[in-house]
Amino acid sequence: MKITRRFLGAAMAAAIGASASMPAFAQSATQGLSSESVIEAIKERGALKIGLSLFKPWSMRDLNGDLIGFELDVGRQLAEDMGVEVEFIPTSWDGIIPALVAGNFDVIISGMTVTPQRNLTVNFSTPYAYSGMTILANTAMTEGFTLADYNSEEITFAARRGATPATVIAEMFPKATLLLFDEDGAATQEVLNGNAHATMASEPGPSEDARDNPETLSVPFNQAFKAGGEGFAMRKGDPDALAFFNSWITARTNTGWLKERHDYWFRGAEWKDQVAQ
């Protein structure tokens, strides 16, 4: 009797599970929606909603709690050029794609590296940034390593889940173990504690970390490794939005504005006193 009841419970649980997977049949609805571009929705609303997850120096909070960073400059300029207001919606990394799909924002501008696997799920604009990554290593653990030595099963890398460095590490060092954490700080901490050999980040981050901890950390190669580039991410089935954002990025790349802003946040140090260290 007890078993029967348990099986009944299992059957009910399975039924609920199946109900959750039912939306699989909703695919045909996509075509109907695609005719209504998000660009139209933005113009009607008079506001552009941008999703991002906070990540230095792409986007961060200054001492007053206001959002600043490269993404914020890009987002504000984009909205200004469209003639609409801008609204930034900070979202945790794990929830950013579901929130985009659910329509909580129109586009994600959050340092997303374009990869073919991701591109199968969302649409990417042409890259608006190309970040160079440098390796930050635990000095004692990587004594005398050449670049090829890092591509070994005994090597452990740490990185923030979903960030560009994670993609670059997986690409450059496929044999190494890659540990993914939720925050940048945790990844650097792993290297500092000797639980991982190295991590990667865009300059000036690694050089500063090495300067703060000269006994344990170092930047072994004076060389930046490039990812495929970062693009805006948007929902599938909206060719108008893709075309609009691509044209905007191309125009802003040609005038040199994107490079100038990128250099300001990634090479300069003028903004350092605005944020807590």
Partner 1 sequence: MTAAPDIFAPRGKPLPQPARVTQVIDSVTFSVALYAVIIGVILYVSYTGAQAMGYNWQWYRIPQYFYTVTEDGFQWGEIAFGLVKTLQLSATAFALATLLGLLVALMRLSGLLIVGAVSVGFLELIRNIPLLVLLYLFYYVLGPVFGFDRYTASVLCLAVFHSVLISEIFRAGIEAVAKGQWEAATSIGMTRGQAYRYIILPQSIRFMLPPMTGEVVHMVKSSAIVSVIAVAELTTIGRNIISDTYMSFEIWFTIAAVYMVVTLILSVGVSMVEKRYAVSQ
Q: Is 86 left (phi over 0), alpha (psi -120 to 50) or beta?
A: beta
- Using the rule CB under 8 A, is 179 a contact of partner 1? yes
Stretch that binds partner 1, among 96-104, 198-206, 210-218, 248-256 (CB under 8 A): 96-104
CB of 228 to partner 1, least distance (A): 14
- Using the rule CB under 8 A, is 205 a contact of partner 1? no
Please list the residues that pair with 134 across neighbouring strands: 201
Cβ(23)–Cβ(81) below 8 Å: no
Q: Which of 45, 46, 81, 103 binds partner 1 (CB under 8 A)?
A: 103
Q: Which of 64, 65, 83, 120 binds partner 1 (CB under 8 A)?
A: 120
CB of 10 to partner 1, least distance (A): 5
Q: Which of 67, 88, 127, 181 binds partner 1 (CB under 8 A)?
A: 181
- Using the rule CB under 8 A, is 97 a contact of partner 1? yes
- Using the rule CB under 8 A, is 25 a contact of partner 1? yes
Q: Is 46 left (phi over 0), alpha (psi -120 to 50) or beta?
A: left
* Closest C-alpha to 128, from 46, 265, 250: 250
CB of 93 to partner 1, least distance (A): 8
Buried b or exposed e, range 190-217, using 16+ CB within 10 angstroms: bbbeeebbbbbbbbbbbbbbbeebeebb
CB of 269 to partner 1, least distance (A): 30
